[in-house]
Chain A
């Protein structure tokens, strides 16, 4: 019996090693993307394939490169996209995506610029392959459908913060000039007899949604919330939760607010692509949730891979 079992294990190992040896040079690139909540993996893939077809004859040449905005930035990625098809894989968490990249299941991952910078700065095993400024994205607060009053209050606070430069200041302190240091601790003001707004934090999108080493949420999102609490004169309670449980928490009224990260603009900066459907195909429309004004936006994603 023991011999049988040993033989079985041995043959399994042999088969596995043979399979990996047979694996040929593939003609596509496995790419990881953080899950777009408003679209499916197949739709995203179809959109990217259409784009690839549309872009192939349009690739900038020496003569017409003036017609392309951000020629230098785009050329690398578009040429690479036309050469190698991207097979898209959605990942619910940055951690699993990063591990897939490390183990070679993925060849590259696309991340929002601040998150990508944080990854590269904190783990020298990774490098930026391309920067992609065609998928403008935003982060907003998400509310339960029907909770318009809270959404309006948040919107007015966000607008005021935009106008008086608070957003820009916090963005500078907590994202762009953060570097390798940890975001500082954030204090919340306490209002007696005021309502409490419960907000779900996950810590899965550093340095924006971030949980510090003392276990306390901090980072850009938390700084914004502290400021909003001050302006609305309401208490904010942060509830640390697994990102997969956010929608359940919101729907069952365990929390009132979640962070909502999405792609908003489709393929905005591809002027040569005339087909409007094509340009909107990767747009991530929110369903079943009420979104506030965005309080963070960027139009650059970083494509990151293992450093050579």
Chain B
């Protein structure tokens, strides 16, 4: 069996590429929604975590420790087969909830680290100049936090995409599951898995490209100011 023939059987025969695209769509869908909700929730948890009041920061601390310290597959199984076992929620929704919870813990920590890295003296200076607390945050702290957090956030996004490869355990046919099915069908696991890896790699590069684009846009803005 020649390589061409094997590739034909893996990628084309019987509309195989459409199935791969469907799997890719499931992966991207779960990743994008989880990232959106996870980031919002993460910012909220970060707010609680940085609060001086113990009733806020202790639960946030516990949340972060639990969610960052446990494998996301276990959490997913627990949610799908335990917490939501009797509900009529779709598997996709449950996966998005689970990954949002997980990403939120990571985002909360990375935001906290970024905020701690900024110089608090600048906020004090802004306040003495008459900025309100919110203005000082929005105009002084936030732009720096975004710059510091960006590279770590980018790797969180790429990690998230890779974590979603376990959703086959909760009956979602994502990219990994499609690749496994094709490997079983064609009995050519090595080549099929390499193809799967290349697709994930491409996704990671798309994320990289998007971040590079945002860098370019913000740099252009700066040049105009100068």
Contacts and interface: CB of A to CB of B under 8 A. Distances in A.
Contact of A206 (B15, B22, B185): B185
Interface string B34-67: 0000000000000000000000000000000000
Given A203-B185, A210-B185, A215-B181, A242 B80 contact: no
B93 interface: no
A119 interface: yes
B132 interface: no
Given A213-B13, A254-B80, A123 B177 contact: no
B14 A241 contact: no
A239 B182 contact: no
B189 A239 contact: no
Most buried by A among B23, B82, B181: B181
B169 interface: yes
Interface string B68-93: 00000000010011100110000000
A254 B40 CA distance: 31
Interface in A196-230: 200, 203-206, 210-215
B135 interface: no
Size class of the A contact interface (CB-based, 8 Å)? 20 to 34
Nearest to B167: A242
Nearest to B20: A215
A241 B177 CA distance: 8
Interface string A176-212: 0000001000000000000000001001111000111
Interface in B11-39: 13-16, 18-19, 22-23
Contacts, number: 93
Which secondary structure dominates where chain B touches chain A?
helix
A166 B170 CA distance: 33
Size class of the B contact interface (CB-based, 8 Å)? 20 to 34
A203 B188 contact: no
Nearest to B178: A215
A98 B183 CA distance: 10
Contacts of A102: 189-190
Which secondary structure dominates where chain A touches chain B?
mixed
B81 A242 contact: no
Contact of B81 (A205, A214, A248): A248
B101 to A, nearest CB: 19
A244 interface: yes
A170 B188 CA distance: 26
A153 interface: no
A251 B81 contact: yes
Interface in A74-132: 94-95, 98-99, 102, 118-119, 122-124
Contacts of B13: 213
Contacts of A148: none
Contact of A249 (B16, B171, B177, B187): B171
Interface of B: 1, 13-16, 18-19, 22-23, 77, 80-82, 85-86, 168-171, 173, 177-178, 180-190
27 contacts: A95-B180, A95-B184, A98-B187, A98-B189, A122-B188, A123-B1, A124-B1, A200-B171, A203-B180, A204-B184, A205-B184, A206-B185, A210-B185, A211-B185, A213-B13, A213-B14, A214-B15, A214-B18, A239-B171, A240-B173, A240-B177, A240-B181, A241-B171, A242-B177, A249-B81, A252-B81, A254-B85
